[in-house]
A and B are shown apart, each in its own frame.
Chain A
């Protein structure tokens, strides 16, 4: 194997619905964090309208001035003509590149010949699919969240063999985005119709825990999106990511403690990994099952210790 290359770190888009102040504070701090790439924008729900495209562009410009590569993330579930209008504006922003999270965005960006990042929900599982997207302007791609290390290593090797060397990004930290629905589960909890949800998501800056009747955290409800109940933490897998040629490790923002998360991954990519410590970076159940070819909720580190 060649010498491990430098792994870039990215901040994924904020998946939760925060207040304008919280976004502003968060990105003001993030400007000084050791991440190379920052994804911005509302990728979950079109009803979350506190932040307009211009607001995101403003934050993007400040981050770009701090040396960050800024990418705007498109909405994953596109349903209405209004969604398409917003998507067009986002794709046509003329300033920052876009992460395409569905085929509507792919259509818009490929037709306009604008290069893009391919999102994890596009289901990129094989070299032929990646070849198709490379043909229409893909610059970087996100592996599906459910893909294992071994499958990804094979896919990367096959891509290289076919001359496809677009950087691959892995979801390395955070609650995993697992599903999107037209139904809003947060509004359902509050017994409100989605059309009159009163933006209850904003009361839950890290989502709403869904537990089994035995109090096990199974999923996290985030409006129309369902996230994993446990927080994926692949910090200890950073060396193997570097070894197999992953280009970017994505860290998904949370409301508290994100600076520490970034610092820990930054240390990890410089080879400074703490001995396996059972203490999580933050107070949440940890999982890493997908990476090890197991159910996503599994935590192989706790299994190896018990």
Chain B
């Protein structure tokens, strides 16, 4: 199984490679990728440097161009595809059907991976992307249970990559417009969710308040840990109860599922977090490398070491992790 790690910048890319990533993924400095953060991502020059670094060590590099080309920006997205091809990346990670079509025609020899933003949750959907655009691999949305992944793996026409660790989107990715409803900017259109420019923190007599474009997302009492106001992880009132009505602040961690994912023939596990620090990437990549090496030697005797779980817990949102939708009772 391939370990695919996030590279938000060149130092993160190098740390990931040094710590044992088999592949890294990056995006350009514009809205063509789903992690558009100030000061993050790659210029042409830095990308070239990163690709050389990875290739010199026998590692692969993927380029994420996984937002949806907007009516006034088609040329910016196709330029990103051409640029990635010129740089010599090993695969493109794409979501938009039009852009997949463009890449398949213009750069037929360059592997196309379907981004999680392409929302393919069944083998029929995978077959559509495969038949129409010749995708080689697909990243599965984080909404499927392990049983559903098993069914899908049985019939898939393409390689599968699943999320291993990191922030947990609990909506079917690529089909979530909650962020633009509140802020005007979404993952699809701008490569952002709950963007920082719309976040306000305020100390009030009721507690510390976090707001997104004026909408109160959460309010923290004394001693409570405040988290980033991702809109689906706030506390809201529904039918007279105030609670984490959509999801708690938590991270996805599927380390325990590795033997099963291995047995299903999953090709790659993906670490989320291009927006996180090089130190984070280095720590997470290192733990998963150890786990995958252990799995390789003796898949039947694999178990998640407490030290690994502790290490991952420390860098998780809310310092807790979940198996998310992989586990049926989470739903």
Contacts and interface: CB of A to CB of B under 8 A. Distances in A.
Contacts of B125: 78, 102-104, 106-107
B331 A183 contact: yes
Interface stretch (B23-31, B52-60, B174-182): B174-182
Interface string A194-212: 1100000000000011111
A169 B186 CA distance: 21
Contacts of A151: 70-72
A297 interface: yes
Nearest to A122: B97
Given A80-B148, A181-B143, A185-B246, A102 B132 contact: no
B99 interface: yes
Interface stretch (B235-243, B252-260, B286-294, B301-309): B235-243
Interface residues of B, number: 69
A160 interface: no
Category for how many chain A residues contact B: 35 or more
B215 A216 contact: yes
A50 interface: no
24 contacts: A77-B121, A79-B148, A84-B123, A87-B124, A102-B122, A104-B128, A126-B69, A126-B96, A129-B96, A132-B98, A145-B177, A146-B189, A178-B181, A179-B175, A179-B178, A181-B170, A182-B145, A182-B325, A184-B331, A210-B236, A212-B234, A213-B237, A216-B216, A218-B236
A67 interface: no
A211 to B, nearest CB: 5
A211 B217 CA distance: 10
Contacts of B148: 79-80
A296 B69 CA distance: 19
A182 B68 CA distance: 23
Looking at A77, A110, A145, A151, which has the most chain B CB atoms within 10 Å of its CB? A77
A15 B216 CA distance: 27
Interface string B93-105: 0011111011000
Looking at B68, B177, B238, which has the most chain A CB atoms within 10 Å of its CB? B177
Contacts of A80: 148, 151
Contacts of B74: 126-128
B292 to A, nearest CB: 26
A127 B176 CA distance: 22
6 nearest interchain CB pairs? A128-B98, A129-B98, A107-B128, A103-B125, A296-B181, A182-B143
Contacts of B172: 77, 179-182
**Main SS at interface, chain A:** mixed
A76 interface: yes
Interface in A59-109: 76-81, 83-84, 87, 102-104, 106-108
A221 B181 CA distance: 15
Contacts of A184: 331
Interface in A107-157: 107-108, 110, 121-123, 125-133, 136, 144-147, 151-152, 154-155
A146 B70 contact: no
Interface of B: 68-72, 74, 95-99, 101-102, 118-125, 127-129, 131-132, 143-145, 148, 151, 170-172, 174-178, 180-184, 186, 188-189, 213, 215-219, 234-239, 241-242, 245-247, 325, 328-331
A84 B188 CA distance: 26
Interface stretch (A19-27, A255-263, A271-279, A287-295): A287-295
Contact of B245 (A108, A110, A188): A188
A81 B151 CA distance: 7
B293 to A, nearest CB: 32
Contacts of B238: 189, 208-211, 221
B213 A295 contact: yes
Given A78-B121, A296-B182, 7 more contacts: A79-B145, A87-B124, A104-B128, A107-B131, A126-B96, A128-B97, A189-B238
B222 to A, nearest CB: 16
A290 B178 contact: no
Contact of A183 (B95, B170, B239): B170
Contacts of A146: 177, 180-181, 186, 188-189
Contacts of A2: none
Given A81-B151, A189-B239, A209-B238, A295 B181 contact: yes
A290 B185 CA distance: 10
